[in-house]
Amino acid sequence: MGTSRAGRLFTGRQGMALAALALGLSVFLSRILGLVRDKVIALHFGAALESDIYFMAFALPDFLNYLLAGGYFSITLVPLLARIFAEDEAEGWRFFSAAVCWAALLICLLTLLAWLAAPRIAPWLAPDFPPAAHERLALFLRIILPAQICFLPGACFTAMLYHRRQFTVPALTPLVYNLCIIGAGLFALKLFPARGMEGFCWGVLAGAFLGSLALPVLAVRQGGLCFRPRLQHPAMKRVLLLALPLMLGQSIVVLDEQLVRIFGSLTGEGGVSLLNYARRIMLVPVGVVAQAAGLASYPFLAALAASNDKAAFDRSLNQAASNTLLIALPLSLWMLAMAEPIMRLIFQQGGFTTQDASASGLLLAIMLSGVAFWTVQQILGRAFYACQNTLTPAFAGTAASLLALPLYFAGARYFGAPGVAAAGTLGVALYAIFLGRAWKRAHGGAGLAGLAAKAVKALCFCLPACAASFGAGLLLRPFFAANSLWGAAATIMTGGLAFALVYLSLGLAFAPSLCAPFTPFFHKILNKLGFLRQAG
């Protein structure tokens, strides 16, 4: 009996190259949908108290997820599933059942406690909000909190799919989640406009159930599922040992979003929303370049670590870090030069004003200055996990978080939203530096050799490219109104062309190796245009 096309989608195994492509495409599309979601919110609510409350409502649920290492649960389970299933399939299913039951039990207990305490927690999360806003925040919390019950057990089923090398459904999960939020929010605004952003909250719950739980469960069942509720299994101790550092050590990378919300609430009405909109754009190069590279490099690094091939591991790590940094750095600095036009083009409409675009453009520029550090920590973090070391990243992340906390507070009180953005950038920079030093002490410097020198050289070429990009934008100003969306689009395109010409010209003239990640792409374009076509 043949397998249906839908069945092959769920049960088909993918190789590493196809897996990296699927996950990278998923990250890109997820970022795009995230931008669409925030565009819809900005269109209808701008940067106002209602949107502040909505974004603030994610602080507590996300913290619960991070507290139980929900974002890393798949990483901790995959190697254990591989080992136990290789030894005894029946024992592997018993271990999987215990992991699912413990995950469900813990998250249900914490979610229930948080749900009951929501009215008391709301004033603590946003102390500068008025009392009426605290009541609405408590309502939003109680709608969104149950979504966590779907995330952690769903991560167990996603780990099973990774173990089976089935990456299609994990790639679809964030897309379904974002589509549900957008669809439910627009549907509720159409039928119940007086309810404000409540529909988006229900969309979070629907997206968590459909995308993060139901879809992975269905995919695992298609490939064979033998689940029996149980709590006891010897391997659960190993899960605890791997996950405990991630649970106790709260990295600045995962806490930054929550700290931006909490301290952003101290910067006045609209501060949380403007910071969130800017952060969303900043995460585009982080997700599409750094996160995708981290996902793609992880299986290769894990395999080399398991084979104890240190020389090959160092070469792979150095290549992944260098190529990713040399793409992320010029991309983020070009976006920095174009920060205000980018925010104007994407968000300015409806409730999002010209003043909001200008204010959020400054926040975006500050955040983009730290993308290089986000890139380094994404690659180095995967390198530590490939060596089955979750303790060092947890210590480094906790130290960076503790050092950044007073920066967030001082930034919010004395500099407003720009101070909060700067504190997040400094926190991620500290984390990347701590990880780099820890890696050199533990594994030597071969894996990171020459990385700092390449970054400095690339920066030297980026600065005149940024000046050219910004100057090109200034030349266009007399031809467009200050709030023109067409003007923003023309500025971005012209500035991008100017940046690319200056950066690539300087790079090819003085340091061709820095342009290595770009040259194959441009050679293909030039070949198609006929510029590099050989005679005869």
DSSP conformation letters of 251-316: -HHHHHHHHHHHHHGGG-TTHHHHHHHHHHHHHHHIIIIIIHHHHHHHHHHHHHHHTT-HHHHHHH
CB 192 within 8 A of CB 47: no
In which region does residue 21 sit, left (phi positive, over 0), alpha (psi from -120 to 50) or beta (all else)?
alpha
- The fraction of the chain above a pLDDT of 90, given in percent, is 35
Within 13 Å of residue 110, how many CA atoms lie on the same side as its CB? 21
pLDDT > 70? residue 123: yes
102 CB contacts (<8 Å, ≥6 apart)? 231, 236
Best-predicted range by mean pLDDT among 21-30, 83-92, 111-120, 515-524?
111-120
pLDDT band, residue 27 (cuts 50/70/90): low
pLDDT, averaged across the chain: 84
- The per-residue pLDDT for range 45-90, each reduced to its tens digit, is 887 888 889 888 988 888 787 666 555 666 677 777 877 888 888 8
pLDDT of residue 519: 62
The region of weakest confidence among 70-74, 123-127, 199-203, 520-524 is: 520-524
The pLDDT assigned to 69 comes to 56
Are 402 and 379 in contact by the 8 Å Cβ rule? The answer is: no
pTM of the model: 0.75
Position 2 pLDDT exceeds 50: no
Q: Express as a percent the part of the chain with pLDDT over 70.
A: 86
Q: Which two tokens stand for residue 5?
A: 């096309």
Instruction: Kindly state the tokens that stand for 341.
Output: 């036009």
Residue 528 in this model has a pLDDT that exceeds 80: no
465, 409 contact by CB (below 8 A): no
More confident residue, 297 or 391: 391
Per-residue pLDDT of 487-519, as tens digits, reads: 899 999 999 999 999 998 998 888 887 777 666
Residue 335 has pLDDT above 70, yes or no: yes
Q: Above 80 in pLDDT, residue 471?
A: yes
The residue type at 510: F
The residue among 394 and 102 whose pLDDT is bigger is 102
The pLDDT value recorded for residue 3 is 45
Of 493 and 15, more confident: 493
409 has a pLDDT exceeding 90:
yes
Q: Give the tens place of pLDDT for each residue, 341-372.
A: 999 988 887 778 888 889 999 999 999 999 99
pLDDT (average), residues 263-291: 86
